[in-house]
């Protein structure tokens, strides 16, 4: 192997709180066991190891959740998180899909991470994150349980994301009072961030309005090896080798990493000039080896005249948003809140 076999564990331990280090390292090791060299994936063990939580229609910390079947054909489920009104401790079943009463209510369609292969909408880490987003943004969150690789390659995840957007935009109970429209924001981390971009493209092409995209440490790549990949390989939980594995698992067989799914502004990418693409907030962690690709993405949007805000967090690692006990969490959540609220006070 090209990279150094000395695992720089001490370095990663110094930049994150200990419990976060334990959490992310645990994922790293578990995921090592699940990826087979022949490209197959130990799904049974993955599901066994994944910590899941059920939906809970009783409010906990002001948020309740329930699962919906968005598409029976593909068994596509999504978990909906709503803020509880007032001090209610028990939500009447009938009120799960009660129409929203706010003048303007952001509806966040959330795509969890996991490099297209891991995690689910009901994974504990993502259930927790979505609940936080409800509280912080005063939004409804719809977390999509999209189909995963390698069993379901491109474009399944995008198809599922698109199905969810169509479903959400057609729910009358999610419409803001002000304009009888659903105010949709797409938010995702890692592979979820990648899905956000591609689903937004479909929305634009089909005329469904998406008000904004938020990409947290999005998964992008390309055939060349960027500087950041070479510099940070293996240093902060992630290796080039494992990234390559996930692209081989997701992309159509025989395709390389310049496929537009992986490299939207690469040689096979689409030109976004003149398109009514939603405004974007791109969050990049300075210790993520993919940062050069993520920065290239933000630049690509900028060059195409799109509205993009880049948030570069020098000392952040992958997964920093999973636990709140680090210095990056609050500022990022503040930015997210402002991003989805900016149309609230327009007269």
Give residues 309-328 in contact with other proteins (rule: CB under 8 A). 322-326
Q: Rounded CA gap, 101 and 177, in Å?
A: 7
Q: Which is nearer to other proteins, 32 or 206 (CB)?
A: 32
Exactly one of 190, 191, 228, 280 is catalytic; which is it?
Answer: 190
CB atoms within 10 A of CB 151: 12
List binders of other proteins among 232-261 (CB under 8 A). none
- Residue 179, classified by CB atoms within 10 Å of its CB into exposed (0-12), middle (13-18) or buried (19+), is exposed
Least distance in Å: CB of 329 to other proteins? 7
Q: In angstroms, what is the C-alpha Rg of the chain? A: 19
Least distance in Å: CB of 186 to other proteins? 22
Q: Which is nearer to other proteins, 128 or 315 (CB)?
A: 128
Asked if 17 interacts with other proteins (CB under 8 A), we say: yes
Owner of token pair 């999504």: 78
Asked if 333 interacts with other proteins (CB under 8 A), we say: yes
Q: Which is nearer to other proteins, 127 or 288 (CB)?
A: 127
Q: Rounded CA gap, 95 and 118, in Å?
A: 32
On the CB side of 293, how many CA atoms lie within 13 Å of its CA?
A: 29
Task: Provide the mask over 94-133, with x wherever binding to other proteins is found by CB under 8 A and - wherever it is not.
Answer: x-xx------------------------xxxx-xx--xx-
Q: Which is nearer to other proteins, 45 or 276 (CB)?
A: 45
Interface stretch with other proteins, choices 21-29, 265-273, 298-306, 307-315 (CB under 8 A) = 21-29
List binders of other proteins among 126-145 (CB under 8 A). 127-128, 131-132, 135-136, 145
> Is residue 159 flagged as an active site residue?
no
Residues in the interface with other proteins (CB under 8 A) total 73
Q: Which is nearer to other proteins, 195 or 322 (CB)?
A: 322
Asked if 2 interacts with other proteins (CB under 8 A), we say: no
List binders of other proteins among 25-84 (CB under 8 A). 25-26, 28-30, 32-37, 42, 44-45, 47-49, 51-58, 60-62, 66-69, 72, 75, 77, 79
> Is residue 288 flagged as an active site residue?
yes
Least distance in Å: CB of 69 to other proteins? 4
Q: Rounded CA gap, 229 and 238, in Å?
A: 10
List binders of other proteins among 183-212 (CB under 8 A). none
Q: Which of 11, 22, 179, 331 binds other proteins (CB under 8 A)?
A: 22
Query: Encoding tokens for residue 315?
Result: 């000392």
The residues assigned a catalytic role are 190, 288
């Amino acid at each position: 192997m090209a990279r150094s076999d000395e695992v720089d564990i001490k370095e990663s331990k110094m930049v994150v709180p200990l419990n976060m280090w334990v959490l992310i390292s645990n994922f790293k090791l578990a995921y090592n066991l699940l990826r087979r060299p022949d490209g197959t994936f130990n799904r049974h063990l993955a599901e066994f190891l994944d910590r899941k939580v059920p939906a809970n229609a009783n409010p906990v910390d002001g948020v309740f959740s329930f699962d919906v079947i968005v598409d029976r054909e593909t068994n596509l489920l999504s978990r909906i998180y709503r803020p509880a009104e007032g001090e209610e401790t028990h939500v009447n079943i009938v009120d799960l899909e009660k129409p929203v009463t706010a003048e303007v209510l952001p509806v966040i369609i959330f795509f969890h991470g996991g490099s297209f292969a891991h995690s689910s909408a009901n994974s504990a880490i993502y259930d927790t994150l979505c609940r936080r987003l409800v509280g912080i943004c005063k939004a409804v969150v719809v977390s999509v349980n999209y189909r995963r690789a390698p069993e379901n390659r491109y474009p399944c995840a995008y198809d599922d994301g698109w199905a969810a957007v169509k479903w959400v935009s057609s729910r009358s109970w999610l419409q803001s009072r002000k304009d009888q429209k659903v105010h949709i924001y797409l938010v995702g981390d890692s592979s979820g961030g990648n899905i956000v971009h591609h689903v937004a493209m479909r929305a634009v092409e089909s005329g469904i309005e998406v008000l904004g995209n938020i990409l947290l440490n999005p998964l992008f790549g390309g055939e060349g090896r960027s500087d950041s990949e070479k510099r940070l390989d293996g240093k902060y939980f992630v290796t080039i080798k494992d990234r390559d594995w996930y692209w081989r698992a997701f992309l159509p067989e025989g395709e390389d990493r310049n496929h537009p799914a992986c490299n939207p502004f690469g040689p096979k990418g689409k030109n976004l000039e003149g398109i009514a693409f939603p405004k974007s907030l791109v969050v990049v962690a300075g210790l993520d080896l993919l940062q050069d690709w993520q920065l290239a993405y933000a630049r690509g949007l900028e060059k195409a005249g799109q509205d993009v805000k880049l948030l570069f967090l020098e000392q952040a690692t992958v997964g920093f948003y999973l636990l709140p006990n680090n210095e990056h969490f609050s500022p990022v959540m503040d930015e997210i809140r402002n991003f989805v609220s900016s149309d609230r006070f327009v007269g």
